[in-house]
Amino acid sequence: MPELRALGRTARPASGSNLLDALLAMEVAVPWSCRAGNCQACLVCCEAGEPADEQPDALPASLREQGWRLACQCRVVDDLQVRPFDPAHDATPARVIALRWLAGEVLVLRLAPERPIRYRAGQHVQLWLAGVARPYSFASVAHTDPWLEFHIACRHGGAFARAARALRLGDAIGLGQVSGGALHYDPSWSGRPLWLLAAGTGLAPLWAVLREAVAAGHQGPIHVMHVAREPYWQPEWQTLQAQWPALSVECLEALPTGLRADRRTMALACGSPQRVEAFSRALFMAGVPRSQILVERFLTRETGSAAE
């Protein structure tokens, strides 16, 4: 059996064992959420040896060259020594510059990073707080906003949400790796209808995508459907609608039936897996080809979803 070493501990897991499971069995603290290679919370750096990586394209080449791997996507096949991502040394420091609590126990959090963070609307980043890491989508736009903004659903009371409730101005948060990008705006869509469907705080990345579309001078109609128990973004909608008459917004408790869409429509959907699946079905039944439906699923191990 191969020898696995991490943080001064040693074990001999069965050959082919999942690296994340093996590390957790050794009581090595490795955060994880989705186990699908999307959240990238379980980053480890290979200091000696190499695991079998089942999803090598999940990380940028620059990170892989530095030895970083996703533990949930790797198997232990030979002797291996790793160290988990350490926010004290590996994260980008950031400070809280604004906190705003909105309906539905949603915290709008603004951060000032110590050094610039490169990202695009639709991507997400790990936030490290009180030893807990969770991926959150950017609600800010890189070329417009001098801060990073995130919408954090605290209704469900997970470990990160509990820590977020105690945040104060000036507090420190670590920023991990930027990843994702299934949701985005393409200027070639300019003349086409654009539909944005969000559940709960799944609105965050779509708000950023919407602002990019508006800044790019999108010519087609834009229709937003925000499904939430307590919609939290009405003043911002009103402000943007006053500036952009082609924008229509519906705040709903459930997606309406009998939707009809132009077949040229580009549709973006974000929320829990269940919500996204329902959105995708409704869009397809409305006449939107599957190739024109882009989705992002919010996952956490504590609640099953970071969005309602």
Contacts 24+ apart (CB under 8 A), 236-243: 236/207, 240/210, 240/211, 240/214, 243/214
- Could you please report the per-residue DSSP string of 236-256? HHHHHHHH-TTEEEEEESSPP
Report whether pLDDT(306) > 50: no
* 13's tokens: 């897991």
Over residues 183-216, the pLDDT tens digits come to: 999 999 999 999 999 999 999 999 999 999 999 9
Separation between Cα atoms, residue 305 and residue 121, nearest integer Å: 20
- Per-residue pLDDT reduced to its tens digit, 135-150: 899 999 999 999 999 9
Residue 191 to residues 31, 111, 213, 226: CA-CA distances in angstroms?
A: 43, 34, 11, 23
Q: Give percent of the chain with pLDDT exceeding 90.
A: 76
Task: Give the whole-angstrom CA distance, residue 269 versus residue 267.
Answer: 7
Q: Which CATH architecture has domain 4-85?
A: Roll (3.10)
Q: DSSP class of residue 72?
A: G
What does the pLDDT look like over 56-102, one tens digit per residue?
988 888 889 999 999 999 999 999 999 999 888 899 999 999 999 99
**Does CATH number 3.30.70.20 belong to domain 187-297?**
no
Which of these, 1, 11, 89, 97, lies nearest to 45 by C-alpha position? 89
Which H or E run includes 159? helix 159-165
* Alpha-carbon dihedral sign for residues 208, 211, 216, 220: positive
Going from the C-alpha of 288 to that of each of 57, 144, 184, the distances in angstroms are: 29, 31, 17
Beta bridge partners of 251: 226
pLDDT at position 181 over 80: no
Q: What is the pTM of this model?
A: 0.86
The side-by-side arrangement of strands in the sheet containing 9-11 is 9-11, 4-6, 80-84, 43-48, 68-70
Calpha distance 109→94 (Å, rounded): 12
Q: What residues does each domain of the chain span?
A: 4-85, 88-180, 187-297
Please name the amino acid found at residue 62.
Answer: S
Nearest CA-CA partner of 134 in 159, 170, 166? 159
Cα(193)–Cα(213) distance, integer angstroms: 11
Q: Are 1 and 14 in contact (CB under 8 A)?
A: yes
pLDDT band at 21 (very low <50, low <70, confident <90, very high): very high
Give the separation between CA 237 and CA 242, rounded to whole angstroms: 9
Three-state DSSP state, 207: helix
The CATH number corresponding to 88-180 among 2.30.40.10, 3.40.50.11820, 3.40.47.10, 2.40.30.10 equals: 2.40.30.10
Tens digits of residue pLDDT in 164-177: 999 999 999 999 88
Q: What distance in Å separates the CA atoms of residue 306 and residue 291, rounded to the nearest whole number? A: 25
DSSP 9-25: EEE-PPTTEEHHHHHHH
